[in-house]
């Protein structure tokens, strides 16, 4: 198979673009897609300090590498989730990357901060592990961004993530989530950092290929808590459609972006959480409510033991 | 040829697949969900395969959104 641009030997075929690329042309394609995403959506400017949330997986490390290559002032933030050996490997992967690229890295550890890992927290609440994990990560990266003066938080969400989320939101008609699903979430409160997803034009197959070709040593092991998650089912379903009809994921998500104003939520009445001071629509934020639930369950079980 | 499934600690022997596309069809693997590596290099679906080589299958779908 030949590269569509230079006619050299192709290393990857992108059926959704009816294209194949050699290594160098693929790097150009991928970097151009990130630049296009950033410019079209006005994600950040040259003056912004960008906090990149890095798990140690392919998407976040590819994102960090690309932003550094584009000259963006991009710092990494790793959140150690306290999932035993998996979290240790994740942190190691991120530390190695930061060392190899001489990049600035911040690390926060849930067990150090709150005395419990994600699984322990989730097991004492009604949330699934992935739901609790997502909530905790969103809270912590926003908190670190505010404390350390970052104007923008970037995450490694890719086209597959966004299309799978969209499918889930449509299947259950979660109109509130549909209104908030976007590659850019502006700061609508002084206690909320701007959030951006510069990889939303790229599939996870493309970010994985980028890491392999660039020699980025990402953690290939999957999180042990994610097995059987709904998001995986949605991704598999979309990939089946993609196989039969290339471009399905792109068409689904980009079609939605053109129409998403229909679901635009009304202006939220945000205030500061009475417990931690972060932005919330309630008296206390979802994170503090989660911790309260854990604390009350722990108290009850201790009383039963006594 | 030897087919190694990265992350699954699984290896199998497959015979009679002349191209990568035939191999993925035979194993019922969706090409959208994997990358295929030979001698450290990514290969495309039309790549000719020979019986004495090792092919690695790397899944690319990750879970938590």
Write out pLDDT tens, residues A182-209: 999 999 999 999 999 999 999 999 999 9
The ipTM estimated for the assembled molecules is 0.95
Domain count, chain B: 1
In contact, A230 and A111? CB cutoff 8 Å: no
Percentage of residues in chain A having pLDDT higher than 70: 98
Distances (CA, A) of A179 to A31, A58, A279: 28, 28, 19
What are the pLDDT digits (tens) for A90-130?
A: 999 999 999 999 999 999 999 998 899 999 999 999 888 88
Among partner residues A15, A222, A242, which is closest to B63 by beta-carbon distance? A222
CA dihedral A63, A68, A69, A72 (to 10 degrees): 110
Which B residues 5-34 touch A at CB under 8 Å? 6-7, 30-34
In contact, A12 and B42? CB cutoff 8 Å: yes
pLDDT score for A64: 98
Pairing, β A73-80 against β A49-53: parallel
pLDDT score for B62: 84
Looking at the complex, does the CB of residue A226 fall below 8 Å from at least one CB of chain B? yes
Note whether residue B30 is domain-resident: yes
The rounded mean pLDDT for chain A is: 94
pLDDT score for A305: 61
Q: State the helix-helix crossing angle for A204-214 and A23-40, rounded to 10 degrees.
A: 130
Which one, of A34, A70, A294, A23, lies nearest residue A156 by Cα?
A34
What are the pLDDT digits (tens) for A124-179?
A: 998 888 889 999 999 999 999 999 999 999 999 999 999 999 999 999 999 989 99
Note whether residue B65 is domain-resident: no
What are the pLDDT digits (tens) for B16-49?
A: 999 999 999 999 999 999 999 999 999 999 999 9
CATH label of the domain that carries residue B40: 3.10.20.30
The residue range of the domain holding B52 is: 2-59
Q: Three-state DSSP class for A125?
A: coil
Residue numbers in A near B43 (CB within 8 A): 11
Note whether residue B44 is domain-resident: yes
pLDDT score for A303: 64
Note whether residue B51 is domain-resident: yes
Note whether residue B47 is domain-resident: yes
DSSP bridge pairs for B11: B4
């Amino acid at each position: 198979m030949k590269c569509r641009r230079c006619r050299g030997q192709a290393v990857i075929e992108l059926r959704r673009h009816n294209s194949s690329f050699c290594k160098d042309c693929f790097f150009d394609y991928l970097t151009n897609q990130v630049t296009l995403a950033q410019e079209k959506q006005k994600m950040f400017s040259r003056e912004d300090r960008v906090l990149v949330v890095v798990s140690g997986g392919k998407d976040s490390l590819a994102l960090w590498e690309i932003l550094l290559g584009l000259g963006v002032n991009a710092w990494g933030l790793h959140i150690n989730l306290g999932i035993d050996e998996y979290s240790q490997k994740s942190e190691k992967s991120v530390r190695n990357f930061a060392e190899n690229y001489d990049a600035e890295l911040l690390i926060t550890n849930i067990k150090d901060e709150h005395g419990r890992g994600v699984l322990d927290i989730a097991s004492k609440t009604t949330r699934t592990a992935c739901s609790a994990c997502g909530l905790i990560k969103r809270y912590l990266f926003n908190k670190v961004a505010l404390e350390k003066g970052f104007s923008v938080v970037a995450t490694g969400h890719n086209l597959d993530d966004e299309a799978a989320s969209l499918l889930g939101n449509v299947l259950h008609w979660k109109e509130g989530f549909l209104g908030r699903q976007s590659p850019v979430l502006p700061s609508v409160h002084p206690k909320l950092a701007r959030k951006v997803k510069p990889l939303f034009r790229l599939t996870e197959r493309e970010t994985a290929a980028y890491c392999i070709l660039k020699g980025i040593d990402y953690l290939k092991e999957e999180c042990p808590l994610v097995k059987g998650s709904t998001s995986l089912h949605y991704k598999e379903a979309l990939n089946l459609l993609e196989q039969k009809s290339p471009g399905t994921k792109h068409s689904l998500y980009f079609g939605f972006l053109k129409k998403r104003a229909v679901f635009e939520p009304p202006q939220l009445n945000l205030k500061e959480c009475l417990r931690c001071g972060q932005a919330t629509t309630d008296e206390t934020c979802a994170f503090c409510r989660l911790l309260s639930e854990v604390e009350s369950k722990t108290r009850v079980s201790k009383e039963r033991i006594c | 040829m030897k087919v190694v499934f990265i992350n699954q600690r699984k290896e199998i022997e497959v015979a009679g697949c002349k191209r990568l596309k035939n191999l993925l069809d035979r194993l019922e693997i969706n090409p959208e969900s994997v990358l295929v590596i030979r001698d450290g290099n990514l290969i495309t679906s039309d790549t000719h395969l020979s019986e004495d080589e090792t092919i690695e299958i790397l899944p690319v779908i990750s879970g938590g959104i």
